[in-house]
Amino acid sequence: MSKNHKKAKKVAHRFNKYVMQVLNLIRAEGPISRRELANRTGLNRSTLSEVVVRLLDQSLNHEAGNYKSVDGRRFRTLEINGTGCVVVGIEFTGEKSHTLVANLACEVLWHEDRPVPRGSSKEEIMACIEAAIEAALREARRIGDRVIGIGHADVGPVDATGERVVMSSVAPSWRDVPLKKMLADKFDLPIFIQNVSNSVVLAEAWWGVGKGMKDILYVYLGNGIGVAYYHNGEVVSGATNCLGELGHTIVDKDGPMCECGGRGCLEAIAGGEAIVRRVKDCIESGVRTVMTDSSNYSLKRLGLDDVVRAAQEGDKLCTTVLSEATEYLSIGVVNAVNLFNPGIVIFGGTLAKSHDLVIDSIKRSIKARCLPNVVGELKMEISAFGEDGPALGAATLAIRDYLSRAVNS
């Protein structure tokens, strides 16, 4: 390779880094003026102009309108161009799929829930996931934009290669699934697989309440229990992509057996399946509850959403069961906060809907039981995305890949 060729390659690589730097800043802070971009990046006017032209030519950004500064001058602002391309994001919770179509600005254009019957076989679960994706692709075709990828957020751990679902404590048959290959063979699109918590923390860092934060701890409280840690622009995943399996930390050495094979796991005591099972056992033993007196509930199809809803309506049984589970959840989350020392804790999952019954109690425990220098400046927020969070995170995996390929093409 000639010296000139090496030099040109080095210059192109450096320019691409500038493009990605500016693109990420526009994504995170947009609409933003060229003047502010120059101040934030340190790039000179000529280089920044070249970068912006490149982004506009590739339709990754567009002019968002005029911004008036404090000195009265007007500037054209830039933001991510959400039009032209869409992504499909899907979450598998163990009992349903939640699927959405989003644009490049991660704005949700359509979403849908589909039940996945309890006790389904691996093949039946796969059929449900494929049907949900097919419905999303039909909607994408109706919208008329090009689909650039599919992201899947799974309730179970995903291997370090991002190829296989390892296991699921809430869907026992969902083990050792080569999901990426199966979906790629079926849909012929770029496929991205990640666990729920790692998916959501990326979405929160890119689009949500974690924007601008360097150290983010996301806490997922639903049928599964997990945390994810985002540090200096990256999701920290561990040697085998299993960092953050909070649900499989031991909180009672003599506790119940967990689907993972261990005993006394937090998830086996305070996860969604355990909460629902406790409520059902109490009902079967004769405890009165709104669930037995209202046609709004089906005991055969009782889920964590139902327990939370009944507790919010003042049901004594569900309130008591959630309160007992929250004591154990607080122990787990306090330990995680002391371990990771984040700048912000973001709560998501079904139990995050119950602010006063669950999340407020956990927040009080964090303030009372974490080390003073850990909790002193700590922010605590509820996820900005609600039910869409995991699927949006999965969609963000596809968006990140597309933007990176576009910049480096």
Residue-wise pLDDT for 117-127, tens only, equals: 888 999 999 99
pLDDT band at 184 (very low <50, low <70, confident <90, very high): very high
CA angle 298, 299, 302 (to 5 degrees): 85
Worst-scoring range by mean pLDDT, 105-114, 211-220, 235-244? 235-244
Instruction: Check residue 84 and give its pLDDT.
Output: 84
Query: pTM of the predicted model, to two decimals?
Result: 0.86
Instruction: Check residue 341 and give its pLDDT.
Output: 96
Instruction: Check residue 219 and give its pLDDT.
Output: 96
Residue-wise pLDDT for 277-304, tens only, equals: 999 999 989 998 888 877 777 777 888 9
Residue-wise pLDDT for 340-357, tens only, equals: 999 999 999 889 987 788
Instruction: Check residue 214 and give its pLDDT.
Output: 93
β partners of residue 102 = 87, 108
Instruction: Check residue 4 and give its pLDDT.
Output: 65
Instruction: Check residue 5 and give its pLDDT.
Output: 64
SS (H, E, C) the chain: CCHHHHHHHHHHHHHHHHHHHHHHHHHHHCCEEHHHHHHHHCCCHHHHHHHHHHHHHCCCEEEEEEEECCCCCEEEEEEECCCCEEEEEEEECCCEEEEEEEECCCCEEEEEEEECCCCCCHHHHHHHHHHHHHHHHHHHHHHCCEEEEEEEEECCCECCCCCCECCCCCCCCCCCECHHHHHHHHHCCCEEEEEHHHHHHHHHHHHCCCCCCCEEEEEEECCCEEEEEEECCEEECCCCCCCCCHHHCECCCCCCECCCCCECEHHHHHCHHHHHHHHHHHHHCCCCCHHHHCCCCCHHHCCHHHHHHHHHCCCHHHHHHHHHHHHHHHHHHHHHHHHHCCCEEEEECHHHHCHHHHHHHHHHHHHHHCCHHHHCCCEEEECCCHHHHHHHHHHHHHHHHHHHHHHCC
Given a cut of 90, whether residue 88 has pLDDT beyond it is: yes
Given a cut of 90, whether residue 387 has pLDDT beyond it is: no
Instruction: Check residue 28 and give its pLDDT.
Output: 81
Q: What is the mean pLDDT of residues 65-85?
A: 73
Instruction: Check residue 66 and give its pLDDT.
Output: 66
pLDDT band at 374 (very low <50, low <70, confident <90, very high): very high
Structure tokens at 110: 């359509």
Instruction: Check residue 301 and give its pLDDT.
Output: 80
Question: Which is higher by pLDDT, 172 or 137?
Answer: 137
Instruction: Check residue 1 and give its pLDDT.
Output: 55
Q: What is the C-alpha to C-alpha distance for residues 352 and 357, in angstroms, rounded to an integer?
A: 9
pLDDT band at 331 (very low <50, low <70, confident <90, very high): very high
Residue-wise pLDDT for 203-214, tens only, equals: 999 999 998 899
Instruction: Check residue 274 and give its pLDDT.
Output: 95
pLDDT band at 404 (very low <50, low <70, confident <90, very high): confident
Instruction: Check residue 67 and give its pLDDT.
Output: 59
Q: What is the mean pLDDT of residues 69-94?
A: 82
Worst-scoring range by mean pLDDT, 156-170, 181-195, 287-301? 287-301
pLDDT band at 158 (very low <50, low <70, confident <90, very high): very high
Instruction: Check residue 111 and give its pLDDT.
Output: 95
Given a cut of 70, whether residue 139 has pLDDT beyond it is: yes
Instruction: Check residue 373 and give its pLDDT.
Output: 94
Instruction: Check residue 63 and give its pLDDT.
Output: 84
Mean pLDDT of the chain, nearest integer:
89
Question: Which is higher by pLDDT, 363 or 353?
Answer: 363
Structure tokens at 234: 């990256």
pLDDT band at 69 (very low <50, low <70, confident <90, very high): low
